[in-house]
Amino acid sequence: MNIEYRRVPLTEDGLGPEEGPFLEPLGYVLFVEKACYFGVLPPIEILNEMFNEGSIVSNRNFNLLWSPFKLSNEEYRELVTAVETHPEWGGEVDTSFNGVAEDWGHWALIRSMEKFDSQR
């Protein structure tokens, strides 16, 4: 699944000029543009909250903008497959999270720190 989006640089002086539109695979936007939640694909409910808002700040200080939408279960399964088969995105799928949406970011951060520590 592809997504059309725009980028607005966030600068010390405010907002820069809008860039785009760009049309890229959804996994690219999540794992390259946004640097998705410490490299972990969130559950569909969390992604749909974000997609429904129509914007998010990326790891490179861009506000990413798109028309609000929600993924179907089939589209989410396709995204999972794409993430698992595109190692250049640096993402992974970890289905062990079983908390509420408000706890997702914290869980992903702790999980990435534990993974980093175990690799040392």
Sign for the CA dihedral angle at 77, 79, 84, 86 comes to: positive
19-34 pLDDT, tens per residue? 999 999 999 888 888 8
Whether 109 has a pLDDT exceeding 80, the answer reads no
pLDDT value for 42: 85
**Cα gap 120→115, rounded to integer Å:** 9
Distances (CA, A) of 87 to 28, 38, 84: 11, 15, 7
Rounded percentage of the chain residues whose pLDDT exceeds 70: 93
pTM, rounded to two decimals: 0.79
pLDDT digits (tens, 9 = 90+) for 40-50: 888 888 889 88
| Radius of gyration (C-alpha) of the chain in whole angstroms | 15
Q: Is the bond into 21 cis (omega within 30 degrees of 0)?
A: yes
Q: What is the pLDDT of residue 119?
A: 61
What percent of the chain stands above pLDDT 90?
33
Q: Lowest mean pLDDT: which of 68-72, 84-88, 116-120?
A: 116-120
Model confidence band, residue 51 (pLDDT cutoffs 50, 70, 90) = very high
